[in-house]
Amino acid sequence: MEYKVEEYDVIVIGAGHAGIEAALASARLNKKTAIFTINMECIANMPCNPNIGGTSKGHLVREIDALGGEIGKAADECYVQSKMLNNSKGPAVHSLRAQIDRKKYHTYMKSILENQDNLDLYQAEVTEIIYEEGKIKGVKTRTHAIFEAQTIIVTTGTYLNGKIIIGEVSFESGPDGVFPAKQLSNSFKKMGIQTRRFKTGTPARVNSKTINLKDIEKQPGDEKIHLFSFDNEEDESKIRTKQMDCYLTYTNDSTHKIILDNINRSPLFSGDIEGVGARYCPSIEDKVVRFKDKERHQIFIEPTGENTNEMYIQGMSSSLPEEVQIKMYRSIKGMENARLMRPAYAIEYDVIDSSKLKLSLEYKDIEGLFFAGQVNGSSGYEEAAAQGLMAGINASRLIDNKAPFVLDRSEAYIGVLIDDLVTKGTNEPYRMMTSRAEYRLLLRQDNADLRLTNKGYEIGLINDERQSKFINKKQQIEKEIERIKKYKISPTAENNQILRELGSHELTVGVKLADLLKRTELTYLNTEKLDRERKELPYSVRNQAEIQIKYEGYIKLQLEHIEAFKKLENKKIPDSIDYLNIKGISIEAREKLNSIKPDSVGQASRISGVSPADISVLLIYLNQINRREV
């Protein structure tokens, strides 16, 4: 017997990283919101490595925070180790990474959800989406409860029709043995939403008491701690005085022999796994087979929290039988006596075709239905959180009859991520990388607030206090850059002595400090003695001023490229166009354009199978339409 329980503006299905950001965004935008989870203990779960950030992913976290999301604040509360990656390279690829206390992170996020105004949290399995005449009406749960809603955001992660595989054993399950969302996948099929299978996996967890950590290389955190949230930039109370260590070891010939001797028992090679796995995060057996010339592979041993002995063995994802796993792990230096607390496993799950979504993440054929996270074919907590935030914002804006909030590729990594998924689709779990961003010199993690905080304020997710703090910081940066560009360094004996000590050539004429900072060997910090008017400023202000001055020429060039990019992005395409009727465009391009229905010529140009010649024809066609309308 069906029964109605409640009516909502927004319903979010799934309380992982995408679901949390989606629900918080809509609730904070004054929409009556409900979020459903199969199990309360799975809120903000980290079934893979409990870390936040890393190369390019750190950029996403900072952007989410700049827009008013929660993941950065949660990471700052729950980290056990912090590291800035790629420090030896330029600032465009610097990426913050934090090892997280898994249990603490879950507790923090659960508390945030429970205490958020306009938000109700339910433990229930959603089995069906209710819609009429192409418009969302609500959801039904396993207990036949009906919850009406104007919009629905699906953030099912790897639970959708989940199947765990360990060697010859397989069973229906979500991550960590929680039961999967089975019936919802069937509901999609009835709605005409096609799904396909993707696969991911996770390594074993090993009891730290059974690892000889003295025999392997220690990997400590940074001495200078950086935090994710711009709210916490100058907050010393968030800095941990003692961090937990990670460790580095390697596979060896013995490890590889155990794997190859049992390769016929790996579901990856026996054909028992049908889902497509992530190219950039392969299982250990896949790495050993594909890279036979490599004598060893890096293995990182990382803590999963302060109050547990479980260690995450990064680099050892596997679907081999458990008894083979034990031999394999024990063949590695430091783990000769290792005791597995949780075996490694592969997990298959259903995803949708992300090219069927609008850039707002709304499904094209059903009004009010949004998808975010791994159900869209992405991988990673950060990619999921970014999509969840955008879906939550756009579901709220749809209810208010406002235009969708869309970031383009020149504005944010979030824009690159969503544009890639929607415009190009993906045939494998999509992972964000700095190389995917054409304008990465401008899309740095250090300036995410300068790029996006005003947008977050306009949307309504950044409050007045934070906006005021941001404006003050921005003004400080601008004043310091102006001062540095005016401040002149004279060629005195004292100044030249300082320059010699810094390994820089002497001055023969006076120069502006800004010109000196463009020298590779000189920095804002080490030129302090030359800059006698310098005042004490926050690190974030000093750092931003230095980067903008040092890379001024490159930034100017990239801004010119963005201007050309914007011209195509701003050339909008009417929804009513039938590409099948446009002569001169290839058949493949016409079919792709008709399926994806790009918003702009710029988006059309990035669709796989659409050539520059096709775009030229499209531009001519659009000009003809405009002339006829005039």
Domains and CATH numbers, the chain: 3-199+349-459 (3.50.50.60), 205-347 (2.40.30.260), 468-558 (1.10.10.1800), 571-629 (1.10.150.570)
Q: What is the arithmetic mean of pLDDT over 235-257?
A: 93
Mean pLDDT for 31-48 is 96
Structure tokens at 109: 């996020």
pLDDT at 267 over 70: yes
Task: Give the closest residue to 409 by CA, choosing from 565, 614, 246, 219.
Answer: 565
Q: Look up tokens 């045939």; give the residue.
A: 427
Q: Is residue 328 within 8 Å of 318, Cβ to Cβ? A: yes
The mean predicted confidence, pLDDT, of the chain is: 94
Q: What is the mean pLDDT of residues 141-145?
A: 96
pLDDT of residue 280: 67
pLDDT, mean of residues 538-544: 95
Average pLDDT over residues 405-424: 96
Name which of 359, 356, 394 is nearest 375 in CA terms: 356
Express each pLDDT in 584-597 by its tens digit: 899 888 888 988 89
> Averaged over 245-263, what is the pLDDT?
96
Cβ contacts of 386 within 8 Å, gap of 6 or more: 21, 60, 63, 64, 413, 414, 417, 418
**Whole-number Å distance between alpha carbons of 532 and 151:** 59
Q: How confident is the model at residue 577 (pLDDT cuts 50, 70, 90)?
A: confident
Residue 585's closest CA among 596, 574, 593? 593
Query: Is residue 201 within 8 Å of 164, Cβ to Cβ?
Result: no
What's the pLDDT tens digit per position in 429-487?
999 999 999 999 999 999 999 999 999 999 999 999 999 999 999 999 999 999 999 99
Helices (H), 366-507: 381-399, 413-419, 448-459, 464-486, 493-501
Percent of all residues in the chain with a pLDDT value above 90, rounded to a whole number: 83
Report d(CA 626, CA 628) in Å as an integer. Answer: 5
Question: What is the separation of C-alpha 128 from the centre of its chain, rounded to a whole number of angstroms?
Answer: 28
Residues 174 and 182: beta-carbon distance below 8 Å: no
Nearest 5°: phi and psi at 383? -60, -40
Residues 563-578: what's their mean pLDDT? 88
User: Which of residues 273 and 430 earns the better pLDDT score?
Assistant: 430
The pairing of strands 145-154 and 369-371 is: parallel
Residue 515's pLDDT is what? 95
- C-alpha torsion sign, points 408, 412, 413, 414: negative
Judge contact between 225 and 240, C-beta under 8 A. yes
Q: What are phi and psi of 239, to 5 degrees?
A: -85, 125
Amino acid at 8: Y
Contact present, 162 and 180 (Cβ < 8 Å)? yes
The region that residue 492 occupies, defined by phi over 0 for left and psi between -120 and 50 for alpha, beta otherwise, is: beta
**Structure-block tokens of residue 595:** 């399926």
* Radius of gyration for the alpha carbons in the chain, expressed in angstroms and rounded: 26
**Extended strands (E) in 494-621:** 511-512
Q: Which residues of 75-84 are buried (b: 16+ CB within 10 A; e: fewer)?
A: bbbbbbbbbb
353 has a pLDDT exceeding 90: yes
The yes-or-no verdict on residue 24 having pLDDT over 80 is yes
pLDDT at 145 over 60: yes
Q: Tokens 């909502």 appear where?
A: 8
Are 301 and 246 in contact, with CB atoms under 8 Å apart?
Answer: yes
Give 532's contacts (C-beta < 8 A, 6+ positions apart): none
User: What pTM, to 2 d.p., does this model score?
Assistant: 0.95
Q: Are 155 and 372 in contact (CB under 8 A)?
A: yes
Average of pLDDT values for 340-363?
Answer: 96
Token pair, residue 537, equals: 């400023």
For residue 522, what pLDDT band results from cuts at 50, 70 and 90?
very high
Give the confidence band of 630 by pLDDT, cuts at 50, 70, 90: low
Helix (H), strand (E), coil (C) string for 205-257: EEEHHHCCHHHCEEECCCCCCCCCCHHHCCCHHHCCCCCCCEEEEECCHHHHH
In DSSP terms, 394 is beta-bridged to none
Closest CA relative to residue 540, chosen from 591, 594, 470: 470
Q: Measured between alpha carbons, how far is 602 from 570 in angstroms, rounded to an integer? A: 8
Distance CA 565, CA 178 (A): 46
Looking from the CA of 560 toward its CB, the CA atoms found within 13 Å total 6
Say if CB 372 and CB 358 are below 8 A apart.
no
The CB density around residue 416, as the number of other CB atoms within 10 Å, is: 26
Residue with tokens 């190369």: 55
pLDDT exceeds 80 at position 279 = no
